[in-house]
Amino acid sequence: MKEQILERFIKYVKVDTQSEFAVDKIPSTDKQFVLAHQIVEELKSIGMQSVEIDKHCYIMATLPSNTDKNIPVIGFVAHIDTSPDFTATGCAPKVWPDYAGGDLILNEAEAIVLKTKEFPEMLQFKGQTLITTDGTTLLGADDKAGVTEIVSAMEYLIQHPEIKHGEIRICFTPDEEVGRGADLFDVEKFGAEWAYTMDGSLPGEIEYENFNAAYAAIDIQGKVVHPGAAKNKMVNSMTIASELILALPAAETPENTDGYEGFYHLVSNQGTVDKSELRYIIRDHDQQKFEDRKAYMQQLVDQLNEQYEQRISLTMTDQYYNMAEKVRPVMHIVDIAKEAIENLGMKSITNPIRGGTDGSRLSFMGLPCPNIFAGGLNFHSRYEYVALESIVSATLTIVEIAKIMEQRQW
């Protein structure tokens, strides 16, 4: 099973599925279809039913019930795209069997090293098989580990009909990394009472709280004048941009916050004298604090516009909200996942997600959707890695959830 899962995961991460911000179509990149069509054929080959892909790159499929019991239909969801934060082109995965502990030299020529001093979580995987890249791309365990786990679990259940289970629906979405993975998700067609996203991190994690999230696009129009005659005439858009950046609380950034603490995160800064573009993401677990953060951003822009003759435009778009509001009334769905994790000998861990998943939005669309660990760490970076054993454990967690569902009285 481990070898099959490793082969499947390596095959998936070698396909570039990077999504893009600010593209007015779904999927935002056509290359996501390449992996999607491969997955469709694979689902058919392992025996999944009602396998389909729509024109927007959403894949759905069914594992029919093999029991006479009346069991709620549940679902599992993962996304096929990878983050725009770091390149995914030419991913060259490296496998490190029987990790001995200590640093890993990802790329000797470019002196790229995965260091335990910077990432001490590595040491808990001593003796396991780690998968990294060569340091020049991200890996894509976010969320191709999740895709691997769902496909592998479905294959396992099909190959072991002695394991009784109810109907299971699965869906793989595009564009989750740019906040649009749930935009065209057909909850009614999916037909599950609840679902689980396989998009978490450390083994044992089950999450049902996440950030409220917004995306802020700030455009600043300067005025170009020859520097020799610029006095009292030139308006340097980058100077205005710098003022805005420095006016936001320096301690409220991702690198300075943890747990339930929110932040402002500058994800892109491009400029010339004539025009500058700032792109921010705004995050907070608390709904009121989230609204306050957006209001403060608007207030800053309004103040600078008074000073600089209305040269700044701000467009803020809410991306998703804290799913806890929708999951807490049906906490048995979290309890089932915890039971599955603990049945496999792991300790269940409940932490707030410092980000979001498709499940964040799906929960508000009528499909409560907690998040289960997928195993990867250091997402969105050249230092991303995953332990093969974590992918196997997540696969077995899905199988165990199916068992528990069949054993309960509904």
**Which residues are within 8 A (CB) of 229 and not within 5 positions of it... i.e. 6 or more apart?**
none
On whether the CB atoms of residues 164 and 46 are closer than 8 A, the answer is no
One of 81, 167, 175, 384 is an active-site residue; which one? 81
Whole-angstrom distance, CA of residue 316 vs CA of residue 199? 26
Three-state SS at 268: strand
Neighbours of 181 (CB within 10 A): 34
Tokens found for residue 201 = 């991190």
Place of tokens 């969320």: 143
Residues 6 or more apart in contact with residue 173 via CB below 8 angstroms = 57, 58, 77, 78, 79, 80, 181, 182, 185, 358
Rg (CA), the chain: 23
Pairing of strands 94-96, 312-320: unpaired
Asked about 81 being catalytic, the answer comes back as yes
Backbone angles phi, psi at 377, to 5 degrees: -135, 160
Handedness of CA 389, 352, 179, 310 (dihedral sign): negative
Compute how many other C-beta atoms are within 10 angstroms of the C-beta atom of residue 258: 10
Looking at the DSSP bridge assignments, the partners of residue 76 are 170, 196
Identify the active-site residue in 16, 142, 176, 209. Answer: 176
Query: Which candidate, 407, 379, 362, places its Cα nearest to that of 140?
Result: 379
176 labelled catalytic:
yes
* Residue of 203, 293, 209 whose CA lies nearest to 248: 293
**Annotated active-site positions, please?**
81, 176
